[in-house]
Chain A
Amino acid sequence: MIADEDGNKRGELAFTELYQRYARRIHAYCFRILSSTEDAEDAFQETFLRFHKTVKAGGVMTNVSGLIFTIARNLCINLKKKNTRWASDDIDDHTISSYDSTYDQKELLNLVKTSLELINPDYREAFVLREYNGFSYDEIARMLDVSVPTAKIRVFRAKEKIRKVLEPYLKDLLSI
């Protein structure tokens, strides 16, 4: 894909094109999977560096996006394991402390982000891949190495959990 043996311009152009195509989605994935901004930036950069190294080593790729997201996912899992617990939290123990009777879109977004950090990482990952990155359930299933119904259930459960976290404020939220 990236014919960079001679360090020619086409290899650079190809990488630039792929970067421009996937950077936003990969960044959103890292940003929402990892709660730390610094970790997210590290994972994002490392993803593309490893991707470049992988394709430079040779081999035919049939699924570029799958490869990039697999690299990003593995990096995110490792960072999670390294810095925090990559474990499920009980949603019932958490509530969002800040509350205001008036919400705007940004506040709602902040509440959703906070909710994401509180739900099961498996659900969160499926939810992010589906809602933020727009992958189909088939693609999510392949990336997460689960069945399609399982991927679908995880996204559904994530939405249910987020709703549960936002339950006290939904009346105001939905009046926007």
Chain B
Amino acid sequence: MNYSELLHDFVENSLSTQHEETLFQALAVDEELRFELKYLLTLRDTIREDEEAGFVPLATTDSIFKTLGYTAPIAVGAGSGVAASQIGLISLIKTWGGYLVASLVGTLLATSVFLMVDDSREVVFANQKTTTGDNVEASSSVAANTEEASNPVLAETEGMQERRTSVAPRTIQHSIQAEAPKRQKLSTQTETTTTTTTRLTAQGTTQAEPTTTAKNVTPQDASTDDDPTITAAQTTSDNSISSQELNHVNSENREAAAMAVTPIDNSEKVTEPRSSASLSIDKIDNSVNNPVNYIKQQPAPFSAHVRGITVPVDLETSQLQLPVADPGLENVALGISYPLSPHFSVVLEGGKESYLLSFTTPKDDGRVFLHEVQPSVIWGAAGIRYNWLTTSRFTPFGQFLIGSSEAGLMGRGMVGTNWSITDRIGLTAGAEYSLVGYRYLGDLNFSDRVGLTYGLTIDFGR
């Protein structure tokens, strides 16, 4: 056996130890032999990279299976050589299609839940402010400022009540606008006005209102002649046309009249009260240090987070004591969340985790063969997170995601809390449960696990 043959055997890992020693001695002194060794190793590596030869075109596979009347394989099991070599759009869809579909489904699910459950974001938001307790007066003022600073009905403090007296004319006119489309007969017009005034009085408006109201409905104070209310009041005092005629006119122009009430110009009357309210609101502490405002700033436009899954417990126990196939970057998840409201966020997550997959194959002689694999699979999921904003710094949450993994469809549930260390950075800790469904020979199997999780959250765009 010459040195070339020894090299050949060495590269194929079939050289005996005795011959290895001989070969190594020769390699140490023979440059040509070292060059030949390089050639053999390069040739071996090059052929291993020759994926083109093993690439089976999808059309070829389709043609074979169509000829046989079978369905061409799309979902590929572990160990398939065909799937690994599929390239192009089909391969791309197969690789990322599951994640894409899962993301879309998760987003739709999250949006649906959000629309069904959280139908009054502003109210919820305002309620949260009052729960902080440190500055109730400030909270109410901020609420008024947030929703409509010029609407005195929302003001609850004494100071605001004082200002309400001067704002009353505007309030009455708003009420009249609301009542105007309901008027059917001229004879009831005065009564309607009175009713409105009474209601406002019941809401705590001062007794000066009836006087103000009476003044308000006179044509001289009206900023527009299109106001049907004012027209009615004027008509009542003039008695120049009959009620039937007016009713006729009123029914013909009802739609126009309803629209015409909108552009009432109260700018002069409201200017002063608005200024008063603004002065009061300006005194409110708008800084981040105010816990009310801290919550007001929540949530950030979107957050990114990274977390690890520790102390995992495989609820499916391996009978064969399998090692994890690929421990690299195991049990890590990355994700982003986008708030739909202070309570709800859409969450997209991806990560890598190992699951025990078991397959049983019955043989003709009655024996059952058990196959187990524990691959480290990449997964992606989307869903919704619900935050409980009970304090300014700690935010307990629960989230539910659905998605897909390399093994099959996946569902994930998690409860935990987020601790905001700064405005942008927070720590997350909690517990998580995940379930993977996978198919083998048409049967659906499941593998699940539970574990603790912790991680870092970064808010962007605040």
Q: Which residues of A contact B (CB under 8 A)?
A: 9-10, 12-13, 15-17, 19-25, 27-28, 31-32, 41, 44-45, 48-49, 52, 105, 108-109, 112-113, 131-132, 156, 159-160, 162-163, 166, 170, 173-174, 176
Contacts A15-B70, A105-B49, A108-B42: A20 and B5 contacting too (C-beta < 8 A)?
A: no
Chain B residues, CB < 8 A from A20 = 73, 76-77, 79-83
When chains A and B are docked, how far (Å) is the Cα of A70 from the Cα of B71?
Answer: 26
Chain B residues, CB < 8 A from A24 = 54-56, 81-82, 84-85
Q: Are B68 and A52 in contact (CB under 8 A)?
A: yes
In the complex, what's the smallest C-beta–C-beta distance from A23 to chain B, in angstroms?
Answer: 5
Q: Are B47 and A176 in contact (CB under 8 A)?
A: no
In the complex, what's the smallest C-beta–C-beta distance from B74 to chain A, in angstroms?
Answer: 10
Q: Are B53 and A44 in contact (CB under 8 A)?
A: no
Question: Can you list 12 A-B pairs, Cβ within 8 angstroms, ordered by A?
Answer: A13-B441, A19-B73, A20-B73, A23-B81, A24-B54, A32-B53, A44-B60, A45-B64, A109-B46, A132-B54, A159-B40, A163-B36
For B59, give the chain A residue with the smallest CB separation: A41
Which residue among A19, A41, A44 has the maximum number of chain B CB atoms within 10 Å of its CB?
A19
Chain B residues, CB < 8 A from A21 = 79-81
Q: Are B53 and A23 in contact (CB under 8 A)?
A: no
Mostly helix, strand, loop or mixed at chain A's interface?
helix
Q: Are A41 and B81 in contact (CB under 8 A)?
A: no
Q: Are A23 and B8 in contact (CB under 8 A)?
A: no
When chains A and B are docked, how far (Å) is the Cα of A20 from the Cα of B47?
Answer: 21
Q: Are A13 and B442 in contact (CB under 8 A)?
A: yes
The total of interchain contacts (Cβ-Cβ below 8 angstroms) comes to 107
Which residue among B44, B46, B85 has the maximum number of chain A CB atoms within 10 Å of its CB?
B46
Contacts A25-B54, A170-B39, A174-B42: A160 and B81 contacting too (C-beta < 8 A)?
A: no
When chains A and B are docked, how far (Å) is the Cα of A162 from the Cα of B47?
Answer: 13
0/1 string, B55-75, CB within 8 A of A gives 1 = 111001101110110110100
A159's partner among B38, B43, B441 (CB-CB below 8 A) is B43
Contacts A20-B80, A105-B46, A160-B4: A27 and B63 contacting too (C-beta < 8 A)?
A: no
When chains A and B are docked, how far (Å) is the Cα of A113 from the Cα of B52?
Answer: 11
Q: Are B67 and A49 in contact (CB under 8 A)?
A: yes
Q: Are B73 and A132 in contact (CB under 8 A)?
A: no
Kindly state whether residue B369 has any CB partner on chain A within 8 Å: no
Q: Are A16 and B73 in contact (CB under 8 A)?
A: yes
- Interface size of B in residues (CB-CB distance below 8 Å): 42
In the complex, what's the smallest C-beta–C-beta distance from B66 to chain A, in angstroms?
Answer: 11
Q: Are B68 and A49 in contact (CB under 8 A)?
A: yes
When chains A and B are docked, how far (Å) is the Cα of A49 from the Cα of B297?
Answer: 67
Q: Are B56 and A23 in contact (CB under 8 A)?
A: yes
Q: Are A163 and B39 in contact (CB under 8 A)?
A: yes
Chain B residues, CB < 8 A from A31 = 52-53
Q: Are A112 and B47 in contact (CB under 8 A)?
A: yes
When chains A and B are docked, how far (Å) is the Cα of A173 from the Cα of B44?
Answer: 13
Kindly state whether residue B50 has any CB partner on chain A within 8 Å: yes
Chain A residues, CB < 8 A from B47 = 109, 112, 131-132
In the complex, what's the smallest C-beta–C-beta distance from A42 to chain B, in angstroms?
Answer: 10
What are the 6 closest A-B residue pairs judged by CB atoms, nearest first?
Answer: A24-B81, A28-B53, A20-B80, A24-B54, A31-B53, A28-B54
Q: Are A159 and B8 in contact (CB under 8 A)?
A: yes
When chains A and B are docked, how far (Å) is the Cα of A132 from the Cα of B50?
Answer: 9
In the complex, what's the smallest C-beta–C-beta distance from A121 to chain B, in angstroms?
Answer: 17
Q: Are B50 and A109 in contact (CB under 8 A)?
A: yes
In the complex, what's the smallest C-beta–C-beta distance from A167 to chain B, in angstroms?
Answer: 10
Known: A20-B82, A25-B81, A45-B67. 18 other contacts (CB 8 A): A12-B70, A12-B71, A23-B56, A23-B81, A27-B54, A28-B50, A41-B57, A44-B56, A45-B60, A45-B63, A49-B67, A109-B52, A132-B47, A132-B53, A159-B43, A163-B36, A163-B39, A174-B38
When chains A and B are docked, how far (Å) is the Cα of A176 from the Cα of B41?
Answer: 12
In the complex, what's the smallest C-beta–C-beta distance from B101 to chain A, in angstroms?
Answer: 23
Contacts A109-B49, A159-B8, A160-B4: A23 and B61 contacting too (C-beta < 8 A)?
A: yes
For A106, give the chain B residue with the smallest CB separation: B49
Q: Are B442 and A9 in contact (CB under 8 A)?
A: yes
Q: Are B85 and A49 in contact (CB under 8 A)?
A: no
In the complex, what's the smallest C-beta–C-beta distance from A156 to chain B, in angstroms?
Answer: 5
For A175, give the chain B residue with the smallest CB separation: B38
In the complex, what's the smallest C-beta–C-beta distance from A90 to chain B, in angstroms?
Answer: 21
When chains A and B are docked, how far (Å) is the Cα of A173 from the Cα of B80?
Answer: 32
In the complex, what's the smallest C-beta–C-beta distance from B217 to chain A, in angstroms?
Answer: 83
In the complex, what's the smallest C-beta–C-beta distance from B284 to chain A, in angstroms?
Answer: 68
Chain B residues, CB < 8 A from A105 = 46, 49
In the complex, what's the smallest C-beta–C-beta distance from A132 to chain B, in angstroms?
Answer: 6
Chain B residues, CB < 8 A from A160 = 4
For A56, give the chain B residue with the smallest CB separation: B68
In the complex, what's the smallest C-beta–C-beta distance from A163 to chain B, in angstroms?
Answer: 6
Chain A residues, CB < 8 A from B4 = 156, 160
Chain A residues, CB < 8 A from B52 = 31, 109
